[in-house]
Amino acid sequence: MVHPLDTQSIEVAIEYDDPRYWIMIFGAVVFGLFLNKLFDRATEDARGKYLVILGFAMVALQLYIPITQALDPDYTFSYHRNLPLHFCSVNFWLVAFNCFLRNRMLFVLTTTAQNSPEIWMSYELKAKDGMSEEFEKAAGKKTKKYNNTAENGIFTFNIMDGENQGMYSRVIGWKDWDFMNSNEDRSEELKYWRDNVNQYVESSTGWKVWRRVKWASHNWTPETTFNYMLKHTRVIKPGMDQDVNHFLGRLKRVYEKHNYTGITAVFRVMSGGNTNEYIICEGFDEYGEFGSYPDTDKTEEELYNEMFGWESYRKDAKAYNDALEMYSRTTERQHFNSKLSTEL
């Protein structure tokens, strides 16, 4: 008698010219899209429950098959075939565990499909003493010549305080994988910078590549403009992502429900730095106008507690702060420099 879960006696290889191959591919895509849509529409609390249920279901499935086979006295158990140690099974386990851990780096290891990230890049530079005017004049010409469209645009901010006071922050944004994979020849642009601008530069940092965390950002669009920005730098303690994401995600829901007027974007390092580092950028035109809730006189904390329960703001904010490295909590002011930025 053949065991119903026998992977030794039954070898099935479905080739791509077999209709069953395409039926399974189509079914997997449709089912995946359905789950994604269901998850996307769910509240944050419901999402957490769905992930836990999915995780338990995946673990149970992975354990049920080899345990059933091992307990059958008529079945010849094979460590090679029956234990979930092959690449697909290992990937399956990673996905299952991440339903509980929700760790970004583990998620990357699963190689599961992700939405195309919105990529940003930035670096800082310092002009030589007494040459800021010459630098801005030369860099402004370069920007107008080579960064005059949305496709090649670059934006510049003057850092106004903190340890980087007096430096310039150059930013490229609204990009995707196509930009990162581009083989566009930029040798002429780079040569122009070396020949005409670099002589006024004392030092510069390397590029950092960021991913904008869309679900935690608010009122941040290509049409968004502002004169000033507060840049809050934070570093998450290893394994503490969930507490940070939980608080930021709930704040976003408060923003949306009560029409918060502020401009906020959250970015996390993908490359060029500590991948546990992220920044929160708040754009505004005048000091004292950081955003408000025009439809209510209640405080943000009161609105938060109304949505998520009594004392939830205090508890979630404490968990958020406990998840951050103390040394990383810095804030600096930046001023948008239109002369060194692309006009869109």
12 pLDDT exceeds 50? Answer: no
Please state which of the ranges 77-91, 296-310, 324-338 shows the lowest mean pLDDT: 77-91
Considering the domain boundaries, does residue 90 fall inside one?
Answer: yes
Say if residue 103 is in the same domain as residue 138.
Answer: no
- Mean pLDDT of the residues in the chain: 86
Say if residue 100 is in the same domain as residue 217.
Answer: no
CB atoms within 10 A of CB 106: 14
The residue ranges of DSSP E strands in the chain, in sequence order, are: 119-127, 155-159, 168-175, 201-204, 208-212, 228-235, 263-271, 277-284, 330-336
End-of-domain residue from the set 91, 109, 127: 109
**Three-state SS at 201:** strand
The predicted structure's pLDDT at residue 82: 61
The predicted structure's pLDDT at residue 8: 42
The Cα-based distances of 330 to 122, 255, 272 in angstroms read 17, 23, 19
Please state which of the ranges 9-13, 170-174, 201-205 shows the lowest mean pLDDT: 9-13
Domain count, the chain: 2
Of 161, 94, 163, 172, nearest in space to 340 by CA: 172
CATH number at residue 150: 3.30.70.100
Considering the domain boundaries, does residue 13 fall inside one?
Answer: no
Which tokens belong to 22? Answer: 């395409």
Residue 167 buriedness (CB in 10 A; 0-12 / 13-18 / 19+): buried
Tokens 């769905």 belong to 50
Range of the domain at 261: 119-340
The predicted structure's pLDDT at residue 87: 55
End-of-domain residue from the set 52, 86, 109: 109
288 pLDDT exceeds 60? Answer: yes
- Nearest-angstrom CA–CA distance, 231 and 220: 14
Say if residue 154 is in the same domain as residue 127.
Answer: yes
Please state which of the ranges 61-75, 128-142, 262-276, 284-298 shows the lowest mean pLDDT: 61-75
| pLDDT tier at 9, thresholds 50, 70, 90 | very low
Say if residue 73 is in the same domain as residue 136.
Answer: no
- Nearest-angstrom CA–CA distance, 218 and 251: 10
Considering the domain boundaries, does residue 2 fall inside one?
Answer: no
Q: How many residues does the chain have?
A: 344
Do 229 and 334 contact (CB within 8 A), yes or no?
A: yes
Considering the domain boundaries, does residue 160 fall inside one?
Answer: yes
- Tell me: the pLDDT tens digits for 88-132? 666 667 777 777 776 655 555 554 444 578 999 999 999 999 999
CB atoms within 10 A of CB 168: 23
